[in-house]
Amino acid sequence: MRGLILAAVSIVLAAFAPAAHAEDAPAGVKGLFLMADFPSVTVRPGTTSTVSLRLQNYGLPPELLDLSVQGEPQGWNVSLLGGGQPVAAAMPPTNGNVSLQLRIEVPANASGSQTLTVNAKGKDTNVSLPIVVSFAKNLPAKLSLEPRLPNLRGTAKSSFEFTVAVKNDSGKNLLVSLAAQAPQNFETSFTEAYGSQELSSIPIDAGQSKDVKLKVRPPSTVKAGQFPVTMRAAAEDATVETKVVLDITGQPQLSLAGRGGVLSATAVAGKESSIPIEVTNTGTAPADDVELSGSGPSGWKVAFEPKSLDNLAPGQTREVQALITPSEKAVAGDYVTNLRATARGESASATFRIGVTTSTLWGVTGIGIIAVSLLVLVGAVARFGRR
């Protein structure tokens, strides 16, 4: 019975063992091992570095192991981390491992080289690993670029802004030059992340990073598609590049004009005049449900035939008739009429000068009234002038 219980407990423990760390032991290998991919590192004085470690158990039962570091010089700050937290012990499972990090913070006046010894000590097992730390005051220039959002979507009217972290990974301060390579007729510029001043270079202290904005404005006539832009940062012998992508969607763009581009016409007071109007889509996407409307001086009527267009393809021009009726009381002269075309997310307007003339009947009537007035005046002078 006791054997059955132990077997059941063993099965449960095996089921809950961390599968990500489990692996078969190599043939003929058994024991506890403390390993590092890079047991000898070169760091810059006054900085903090991290060395990745691995505590591997091949074929041994799990055991609590105390962790320690020996050889820490005065003024240094050395600690062991597990899962991002300081740890003092570890227990790797059978045929499994535990990941550790040796965090090394060295003073600015450190020189030469030092050896730190990492120990893992249990009741029956004791392993150690020496880590050699050397110093170099003049590490070669090294840069890195990290765009926060490398792909942005918008229309040809959009202004695309990419925030990019520029990091100086070298051991000295650098003046970093910035450049961008974009498709033809695309405009590019750089500004600080929280400013509007354009710049072509930026100073970055050793081990620090700064955010810059890469602004890209596409030409208004660009077609829909994806357009890559290469950003380049350079300082001394170091050069680094990264790519960002503009995902440009199509956008309709409307324009209104009279036939042949004319923006003037004539009309007769009180009478409807038909004026040919050309509606053009100069954009890169179809314009759907284009509504036509207009307005004029008080008492005027403005309508269209047809009143709307179902679809206007990119580059297409359709002719419609603007039906304009000036007020019957309008006197001869020039008037302004506004015509509009509106589609989903896009609109256009044009101002037309309408020269109004009065009806011939009104002219004849006016002449008659003037003639009668003159006759009455002459008769009055002739009659009363003799007295």
Residue ranges per domain, the chain? Answer: 18-135, 143-249, 254-360
pLDDT of residue 8: 37
CATH says 254-360 is which class?
mainly beta
Spatial distance between the Cα atoms of 212 and 196, rounded to a whole number of angstroms? 11
What phi, psi does 291 have (nearest 5°)? -95, 135
pTM confidence score: 0.49
Spatial distance between the Cα atoms of 262 and 321, rounded to a whole number of angstroms? 14
**Strand ordering across the sheet containing 89-90:** 40-43, 126-135, 113-121, 65-70, 89-90
pLDDT of residue 128: 95
pLDDT of residue 26: 76
Burial 334-344 (b: 16+ CB within 10 A, else e): ebebebbbbbe
Fold match between 18-135 and 254-360?
Answer: yes
pLDDT of residue 16: 37
Instruction: Give the total residue count for the chain.
Output: 387
Spatial distance between the Cα atoms of 145 and 292, rounded to a whole number of angstroms? 50
pLDDT in tens, the chain (387 residues): 334 333 333 333 333 333 335 566 677 789 999 999 999 998 878 888 899 999 999 999 999 999 999 999 999 999 999 998 999 999 999 999 999 999 999 998 888 889 999 999 998 889 999 999 998 766 678 899 999 999 999 988 888 999 999 999 887 789 999 999 999 999 999 998 888 889 999 999 988 999 999 999 999 888 889 999 999 999 988 999 999 999 998 888 899 988 888 888 888 888 888 889 999 998 888 888 999 999 989 899 999 999 999 999 888 999 999 999 998 888 888 899 999 999 877 888 989 898 888 865 455 555 667 767 777 676 666 666 555
What is 143-249's CATH number, 3.30.930.10, 2.40.50.140, 2.40.10.340, 2.60.40.10? 2.60.40.10
pLDDT of residue 54: 96
CATH says 18-135 is which class?
mainly beta
Spatial distance between the Cα atoms of 119 and 195, rounded to a whole number of angstroms? 51
pLDDT of residue 379: 64
